A and B are shown apart, each in its own frame.
Chain A
Amino acid sequence: ETGVTQTPRHLVMGMTNKKSLKCEQHLGHNAMYWYKQSAKKPLELMFVYNFKEQTENNSVPSRFSPECPNSSHLFLHLHTLQPEDSALYLCASSQEGSTDTQYFGPGTRLTVL
């Protein structure tokens, strides 16, 4: 698990706050991902970055804004969230390729009040 780290591990925020989630990978990968995991639902892919370029945006609301300054770091900026955005947010990384394994961080448990 130390290959992909996420901070903070827990976050409580109000609907008017602005916060950021951080992900860092130490595996030399060139692709990074944000997923949302809600109770009783499959993992939802939110964003994909390959070589720092965003290649996937699965109709995610604009209150979620990703940033990938380099191939090792990925951020998710949050603003004016809704209570239904409360979930576990998982970051993953991989070499880019259909057969390559994605490795996940421990996640950030987000609660929106």
Chain B
Amino acid sequence: AQSVAQPEDQVNVAEGNPLTVKCTYSVSGNPYLFWYVQYPNRGLQFLLKYITGDNLVKGSYGFEAEFNKSQTSFHLKKPSALVSDSALYFCAVRELGNTPLVFGKGTRLSVIA
């Protein structure tokens, strides 16, 4: 069965600095990987996904993520953090076929001015 790990409960970064939110996964076949963001009192908002092709995926709000098959990772990155990026970030993975989308437990990002 597929699984996702987000090893950090909390990430703190200064505004203007680069940010990374980590995600590793475990699947038996090819993974389909997703990042979502959740702002307070809101649902999950889709940021980006990796299906196939270029390992570097660009998404909304200047975020990008790099698929690394050898390290089974899909870390979320942004070159310059904004205070408005402060939110809860979820990584998710799915396999080909009728399998559910499995979410990590989330990482809370705090960007400090």
Chain A interfacial positions (CB closer than 8 Å to B): 1, 4, 6, 40-43, 45, 48, 55-56, 58, 90, 92, 98-99, 101-107, 109
Contacts and interface: CB of A to CB of B under 8 A. Distances in A.
A107 B36 CA distance: 15
B105 A41 contact: yes
B32 A42 contact: no
Nearest to A48: B100
In this complex, the interface size class of chain B, counting residues with CB under 8 Å from chain A, is 20 to 34
A107 B42 CA distance: 7
B95 A98 contact: yes
Contacts of A104: 36, 43-45
A90 B41 CA distance: 11
Contacts, number: 52
Interface in B58-113: 90, 94-106
Interface of B: 32, 34, 36, 41-46, 49, 51, 90, 94-106
Contact of B100 (A40, A45, A107): A45
Contact of B99 (A1, A42, A98): A98
Given A43-B90, A98-B95, A1 B42 contact: yes
A43 to B, nearest CB: 4
Contacts of B104: 42
Nearest to B106: A42
A42 B113 CA distance: 29
Given A41-B105, A45-B100, A105 B32 contact: no
A92 B95 CA distance: 18
